[in-house]
């Protein structure tokens, strides 16, 4: 996530939206980066339980953290966000959802993490990193969209290295990303994580390729990698499939 400024400057206009069938309320900038379904699917895939500590790296306005906290209210979620304006929105959204006892958000850069985030202390680490490599795309005029979508000082390998550092032994690291970056994801996890699951998100049943993947691995585990069947998002009429709607509208867990 990044700055909320518009191309010409000035105060951003906010909208209030809802996720998982109205269960989570979310204020976010009208222009620039907008939360879609990716953080909802990511949050649904986390196998957190009561008492688990969870870290959301690059939490943005808090979408994934709040969705997870709603589904698993007995876990504790901490979000890390680099942009102070976006962090303030995340903090507002935590209050808006009466989630102060379950979710908090801290300001920090994963290249210089705040001291309160101790390595090796989180049972689950999740992230929706920037999808695009710097220098390979035309940058958006909106800083928020640009910084959310395009890698900055921390490329994907460094992003994953930080996620792995923060997880406890046996803890999970789960990332949603573009399917065409799967090689990069697996390379960053190689030798560091095991029990890796690659879970494709298919646009439709007949789609020739997935556009997104959820990839989860466990720290200090050596079980082989597994390719899951994945989830088909849309039916032939462009509505959500029953399985996708259960996750996106009814707060069901996504079993990888």
CB burial of 43-68 (b: ≥16 within 10 Å; e: otherwise) equals bbbbebeeebbbbbbbbbbbbbbbbb
Report the C-alpha gap between 101 and 186 in whole angstroms: 35
Show the tokens assigned to 51: 């008492």
* pTM score over 0.95: no
Q: Is the pLDDT of residue 143 over 70?
A: no
Strand 231-234 and strand 193-204: the pairing is parallel
How high is the mean pLDDT of the chain? 90
Where do we find the tokens 């680099």? 82
Report the C-alpha gap between 121 and 169 in whole angstroms: 9
**pLDDT tier at 151, thresholds 50, 70, 90:** very low
**Average pLDDT, integer, range 163-192:** 97
**Average pLDDT, integer, range 157-175:** 97
Q: Mind listing the pLDDT tens digit for each residue in 93-117?
A: 999 999 999 999 999 999 999 999 9
Q: Is the pLDDT of residue 234 over 70?
A: yes
**pLDDT tier at 238, thresholds 50, 70, 90:** confident
Q: Read off the DSSP letter of residue 109.
A: B
24 phi, psi to nearest 5 deg: -120, 125
Output 151 or 243, whichever has higher pLDDT. Answer: 243
Q: Is the pLDDT of residue 181 over 80?
A: yes
**Average pLDDT, integer, range 135-141:** 49
Q: Mind listing the pLDDT tens digit for each residue in 4-15?
A: 334 445 678 999
Which pLDDT value is given to residue 55? 98
Which pLDDT value is given to residue 42? 98
156-166 and 182-189 helices, crossing angle to 10°: 40
Q: Is the pLDDT of residue 144 over 60?
A: no
Q: What percent of the chain has pLDDT over 70?
A: 88
Which pLDDT value is given to residue 9? 52
Least confident of 27-41, 66-80, 92-106, 140-154: 140-154
Alpha carbon separation from 110 to 67, 135, 234, 236 (Å, rounded): 22, 21, 35, 41
Strand 167-178 and strand 212-219: the pairing is antiparallel
**Average pLDDT, integer, range 176-186:** 96
Least confident of 3-12, 18-27, 56-65: 3-12
63-71 and 84-96 helices, crossing angle to 10°: 30
Q: Read off the DSSP letter of residue 166.
A: H
Q: Is the pLDDT of residue 142 over 50?
A: no
**pLDDT tier at 153, thresholds 50, 70, 90:** low
């Amino acid at each position: 996530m990044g700055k909320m400024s518009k191309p010409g400057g000035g105060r951003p206009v906010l909208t209030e939206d809802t996720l998982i069938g109205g269960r989570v309320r979310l204020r976010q900038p009208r222009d620039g980066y907008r939360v879609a379904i990716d953080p909802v699917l990511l949050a649904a895939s986390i196998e957190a339980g009561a008492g688990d500590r969870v870290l959301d790296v690059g939490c943005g306005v808090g979408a994934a953290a709040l969705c997870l906290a709603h589904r698993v209210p007995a876990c504790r979620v901490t979000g890390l966000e680099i942009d102070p304006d976006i962090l303030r929105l995340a903090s507002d959204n935590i209050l808006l959802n009466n989630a102060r006892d379950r979710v908090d958000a801290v300001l920090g850069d994963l290249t210089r993490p705040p001291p309160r985030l101790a390595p090796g202390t989180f049972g689950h680490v999740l992230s929706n990193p920037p999808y695009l490599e710097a220098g390979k795309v035309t940058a958006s005029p909106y800083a928020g969209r640009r910084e959310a979508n395009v890698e900055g000082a921390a490329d994907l390998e460094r992003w994953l290295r930080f996620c792995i550092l923060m997880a406890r032994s046996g803890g999970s690291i789960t990332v949603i990303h573009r399917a065409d970056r799967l090689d990069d994801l697996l390379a960053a996890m190689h030798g560091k994580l095991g029990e890796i699951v690659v879970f494709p998100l298919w646009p439709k049943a007949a789609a020739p390729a997935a556009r997104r993947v959820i990839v989860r691995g466990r720290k200090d585990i050596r079980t082989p990698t597994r390719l899951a069947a994945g989830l088909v998002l849309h039916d032939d009429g462009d509505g959500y499939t029953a399985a996708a709607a259960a996750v996106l509208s009814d707060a069901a867990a996504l079993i990888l």
